[in-house]
Structure 1
Amino acid sequence: MANKTKAAQLCMSCLLTLIAVAAVVSASFAYLSLNLGQLFSIDAAGEMLRFLQSFFPPDLSAGFLARTARGMLETLAMSAVGTLCAAVLGLVLALPASGRHGAALKALSRLVLNLLRSVPELVWAVLTVLAVGLGPFAGTLALALHTAGVLGRLFAEALENAPAAPAQSLLATGASPALAFLYGTLPCVQPQFLAYTLYRWETNIRMAAILGFVGAGGLGQMLYFELSLFHLAQACTVIIAMLVLAALVDAASAFMRRDWVMVHA
């Protein structure tokens, strides 16, 4: 009898939750004046189809392919350098954020990490473009600043959850705190650090392509330029290059993680 009562209460709770969610969604549609009928109408489908057809065939001329290849390399370099700088800065901030240097530094470093990651990459890109001018340097800085906040928080959580026994054993034998960290704590969290860094690199590849829309270089800047001039065939080539680059980085990241696991198994 008690089980039936609990089940009935649970069903009623689920029903009330669904009603509340439906009411919020309906109110949102009404407030935003969204007309889904126009989006899914036959005329809208025809317009979207004609728009997509205008992108094909892509521009495969030698000159434009060479420009696109340079844009791919620029985007790849932006993401790689930005992620590397973010990993270094994130580790530097993660050490005090994990509570290893007192409560005051922990609170201060966590405040800095929260500030870095709470500002989106596009906002950082706007600020860095104003600071250093248009180009890949601004995009690299934007990626590094935001990603440092993300990786720093993840690194700090990993350090807090790392087993203390290896480092304590080294300290008991007379090792310095730095050596105890390097040989006792760091090996325990290295797989997590690598996984987090590679994941953020994959994310930054896509974000580096988007940052070009605010003048931060790479494929995104090429795409924005071509779309602004309604060069849709050229824009199609750039979009394909973005997809190819993202797929290559995903494959390289998966290979590096698998190779790391095999080496340290």
Structure 2
Amino acid sequence: MKRGILPAAPPRPWSSAVLLLALAALAAASFASLPLQWTALFSAAALASGGEFFAGFAPPELALPFVRKTAWAAAETLSMSALGTLLAVAAALPLALPAAGRFGAAARGAMRTLLNVLRAVPELVWASILLIAAGLGPFGGTLALALHTAGVLGRLFADALENAAPLPEHSLRANGAAPTAAFLYATLPQTLPQMLSYTLYRWENNIRAAAILGVVGAGGLGQMLKYHLSLFQMQKAATVILAMLLLVALVDALSFALRRALTR
């Protein structure tokens, strides 16, 4: 190649252009089909009523008994998210093994179908079903988080196992190692940091989901927020919202620090 002459760029596949055009057409169709009333949203009456509504949240309720009650509800929300995530991990790893094709194609298809069902049902729907059986309180919400998160993490764990380099495990098995030992010493260490990163990320999401699940009676901050909003106790609701924001920010910072430590 002559100096100063750059090689020609490789031709881009036509499928990328078709995909971009399809996405653009979908976005245009969405705007055209939805009755988006932007003028009503930004009208003077809407802005005045919205300002009056938000003014009712100030100042937040800071009486010590209510702050203690809010802190206890925040601890309950945190416990729901942590326990739900741990239960999901305990279920996701054994489900991910057959979903990764380690027990044949039939088991892979059946297990991936189960994981699809678990994660396709939202946490609110799981909570509504489980609260009928388990009663009101954090127990049903914890199980709802565990079921949905098990479906998400099971699929992510299975993909990580399938994408792991097979040569180390094959080498151990060729040298006489048992299949379980070869998996534990060769494949699992490759995927464990990625699995831990997925788990921490899902814990962040479950904090937000646990706060929302209280709306259907699963306890925690969400149940407090629904109660005070239904009684138009806006200042108390503002305190609950601030507690939600602080809890999410705390867990986000902790999860980020742990993920950074895992990738070093």
After TM superposition, the score normalised by the length of structure 2 is 0.89
- Aligned partner of 2:58 in structure 1 is 56
Instruction: State yes or no: 1:246 paired with 2:248.
Output: yes
- Aligned partner of 2:6 in structure 1 is none
- Aligned partner of 1:143 in structure 2 is 145
- Aligned partner of 1:186 in structure 2 is 188
Instruction: State yes or no: 1:228 paired with 2:230.
Output: yes
In structure 2, relative to structure 1, the CA distance for the partners of 1:249 and 1:19 (3 Å cut) is: closer
Once residues 16 and 180 of structure 1 are traced to their aligned partners in structure 2, the CA distance between those partners, rounded to angstroms, is: 45
CA shift, 1:113, in A, is 0.2
Deviations 1:9-30 (A, max 9, x none): x99x98998677435522322x
RMSD: 2.1
* Pairs aligned (count): 249
Deviations 1:91-120 (A, max 9, x none): 111000000011121111111101100100
Whichever structure has more helix as a proportion of its residues is 1
CA shift, 1:39, in A, is 1.3
Once residues 212 and 249 of structure 1 are traced to their aligned partners in structure 2, the CA distance between those partners, rounded to angstroms, is: 18
- Aligned partner of 2:5 in structure 1 is none
Q: Percent identity?
A: 56
State the SS of the aligned residue for 2:34: helix
In structure 2, relative to structure 1, the CA distance for the partners of 1:15 and 1:72 (3 Å cut) is: closer
Deviations 1:156-202 (A, max 9, x none): 00100100111112112221111111110000001110111000000
In structure 2, relative to structure 1, the CA distance for the partners of 1:201 and 1:174 (3 Å cut) is: same
Once residues 187 and 19 of structure 1 are traced to their aligned partners in structure 2, the CA distance between those partners, rounded to angstroms, is: 44
CA shift, 1:152, in A, is 0.3
Moved more, 149-158 or 253-262: 253-262
Deviations 1:74-93 (A, max 9, x none): 00000001011111111111
Once residues 207 and 17 of structure 1 are traced to their aligned partners in structure 2, the CA distance between those partners, rounded to angstroms, is: 29
- Aligned partner of 2:7 in structure 1 is none
State the SS of the aligned residue for 1:99: coil
Instruction: State yes or no: 1:25 paired with 2:31.
Output: yes
5+ residue gaps in structure 2?
1-11
Once residues 43 and 227 of structure 2 are traced to their aligned partners in structure 1, the CA distance between those partners, rounded to angstroms, is: 31
- Aligned partner of 1:45 in structure 2 is 47
Instruction: State yes or no: 1:113 paired with 2:115.
Output: yes
Letter in 2 for 1:28: L
Letter in 2 for 1:242: M
- Aligned partner of 2:9 in structure 1 is none
Once residues 20 and 146 of structure 1 are traced to their aligned partners in structure 2, the CA distance between those partners, rounded to angstroms, is: 28
Letter in 2 for 1:70: W
- Aligned partner of 2:132 in structure 1 is 130
Q: After the TM superposition, which segments of 4 or more aligned residues of structure 1 sit over 6 Å from their partners?
A: 13-17
State the SS of the aligned residue for 1:175: coil
Q: 1:169 aligns with which of 158, 171, 178?
A: 171
Once residues 152 and 127 of structure 1 are traced to their aligned partners in structure 2, the CA distance between those partners, rounded to angstroms, is: 22
- Aligned partner of 2:198 in structure 1 is 196
